[in-house]
Amino acid sequence: MSSRRPASRATSSTMSEDEIITDLVLKLQALLPHLNPRQQPSRAQASKVLKETCSYIRKLEKEVDDLSGRLSQLLGTIDPNNQDFDLDSIRSLLQI
């Protein structure tokens, strides 16, 4: 963590979401004691990671809420109980 450039924080808004999550995961993993028995992160680093994690969780939950709102308007006419509701075609449409 101490080797991480401070500039990377300043440009976090330009980092892709994948980069953000990789960064966060590495930091959270660094907090796990069995992975870093010799190199314990400082309390200041731990507190920063925990704060970022909390912000990120709140952000994701807010996004779920916003997407639910958007989908409730978009999917207003669709009846999921309709037998024509084909899971495979939905999956291929969503590219999952």
Partner 1 sequence: MRPPPNSSSFKREFLKKWLLALQLCNHNNNINKNDVVKRKNTIKLSAEIAMASVRNGATCWSRALIAKHSSSFHVTTKPRHMPPPPPRHYKKRVRCKKIIKRSRRCCHNRSAAAAVVRRKTAVLRKLVPGGELMDDEASLIRETLDYVMSLRAQVDVMRRLARASDCVAMCNIV
What residues line the site for partner 1 (CB under 8 A)?
21, 24-25, 28-29, 31-34, 42-44, 46-47, 50-51, 53-54, 56-58, 60-61, 63-65, 67-77, 79-81, 85, 87, 90-91, 93-96
CA 40, CA 49: separation in Å to the nearest integer?
A: 13
Residue 3 or 95 having the CB closest to partner 1: 95
Give residue 23's identity as a one-letter amino acid code: D
Rounded to a whole number of angstroms, the minimum distance from the CB of residue 71 to partner 1 is 5
Residue 7 or 81 having the CB closest to partner 1: 81
Whether residue 21 contacts residue 52, with contact meaning beta carbons closer than 8 Å, is answered with no
CA 51, CA 5: separation in Å to the nearest integer?
A: 19
Here the tokens at position 42 are 């400082």
